[in-house]
Amino acid sequence: MNRRAPRAAALGALLLSPVVLSACGAGQVSQTAEQGPRIGANAEADGVALRGLQLPYPTGGQYPVGGDARLIGAIVNASQSDDTLVSVTGPDFTDVEVVDPAAEPVAAGATSSALDVTVPAGEALLLGNGDGPGITLVGLSESLGVSQYTPVTFTFEQAGDVTVEVPVGIPTRDLPRGEVFDWHYEEHGEEGAESTEPGSESSESADE
């Protein structure tokens, strides 16, 4: 089975999609900064583009210190020659774990310096979709939640370094909400309680 997106239509869609292009590439303010809701982050350099990168919304809404976070998105090679992802680094995690179904098995405990993920010319690799490579940021140095991001640098053999501020994704479904307090019921309930005390006595007297 072809694990990569078809050359023409899919490649153009990934490069021009309003969904993945809607994310803003704000300048780095700090290692972890507050941002508004975003779908994913984009960046490019010398023919290689990163599209729609994000960390999926975590269980409980927060990635804990020391935890791991999986990257999702796409690496698009719009150049005329193959390129190779050789490392993934960043200040907010200690290592990365890469699983590439198309690559030869590597020794256990391989670090980001040992990466060897090929991105063929005119094709796209979809990260974290089950068929494409899986990249996990290991050992987060600080917690990350919605509206926060972490800078990640992808180093390619030909294109060089591409740094992108990867946001934490928003929930893909409605979150359960607590019981809604009925202010109207509170007001009417108190009024009703007050009106029944004198009114009920006079009503009973009239009946007698």
pLDDT, one tens digit per residue, over 19-58 is 333 333 333 323 333 444 446 889 988 899 999 999 999 9
The residues, any chain, with a CB within 8 Å of residue 1's CB and separated by 6 or more, are: 131
Instruction: Give the span between the Cα atoms of 27 and 113, in whole angstroms.
Output: 26
Task: Output the six-digit token pair for 180.
Answer: 């809604």
Break the chain into its structural domains and give their ranges: 8-167
- Residue-wise pLDDT tens digits, 106-129: 544 455 546 889 999 999 999 987
Measured CA to CA, the distance from residue 131 to residue 126 in angstroms comes to: 8
Q: What is the pTM of this model?
A: 0.65
| Closest C-alpha to 88, from 1, 172, 153, 175 | 153
Class at the top of the CATH hierarchy for domain 8-167: mainly beta
